[in-house]
Amino acid sequence: MGINHIALAVKDMEATHRFYTEAMGFTLEKVEIANMRNGKARHAFYSTGSPDDQMIAFWDLRDVPGVDDYETDISRGLGLDPFVNHLAFQADSLDDLASKKQRWLDEGIDVIEIDHNWVQSIYAEDPDGNVVEFAIITEAFTDADRAEALELLRATDPPYSAPPTVTHHPASS
């Protein structure tokens, strides 16, 4: 079972559209206009790969009465570090991940690359300050991994995991 879509409110729909089509490579599939508080709200759906599911959607609330000042950052607005709540999308391979990293850098977006010792990831921020990630699992999960996961989930004082390798890639100025 996959996710049909995740929906978030945004401040600037045009900046969001540019980021998710140009930097992320997603495709705008559908826009619904909803009556919200007697105003028009745009609900834009972007395909992250499959045209039928695995979408991300954004609410443009600028024409909705009484919706003026709201937080769109899903972590900082809650007093959390930016990486706590984030959106992770699948890369097809390590080569695809490298291409996506280069695409972000070419778009002028700083990239953080992390080798978590079982998954390779790249991270950036969207126009609303939300962290987005492309990731590829590099080691298949085993029954031993699942048993250890359950043990760590229930442990009262679990040990730290091996630290990841973090590399910062600033975009060229």
Interval 126-143: pLDDT, tens: 999 999 999 999 999 999
CATH fold group of domain 5-63: 2,3-Dihydroxybiphenyl 1,2-Dioxygenase; domain 1 (3.10.180)
Interval 53-85: pLDDT, tens: 789 999 999 999 999 888 999 999 899 999 999
Residues above pLDDT 70, as percent of the chain = 98
CATH fold group of domain 76-167: 2,3-Dihydroxybiphenyl 1,2-Dioxygenase; domain 1 (3.10.180)
AA letter at 134: F
Instruction: Examine domains 5-63 and 76-167 and report if their fold is the same.
Output: yes
Interval 20-43: pLDDT, tens: 999 999 999 999 999 999 999 999
Average pLDDT value for residue range 2-13: 93
- Which residues, 6+ apart, have CB-to-CB distance to 141 below 8 Å? none
Q: Parse the chain into domains and list their residue ranges.
A: 5-63, 76-167
Residue 94 has pLDDT above 70, yes or no: yes
- CA distance linking residue 3 with residue 77, whole number of Å: 25
Looking at residue 99, its pLDDT comes to 98
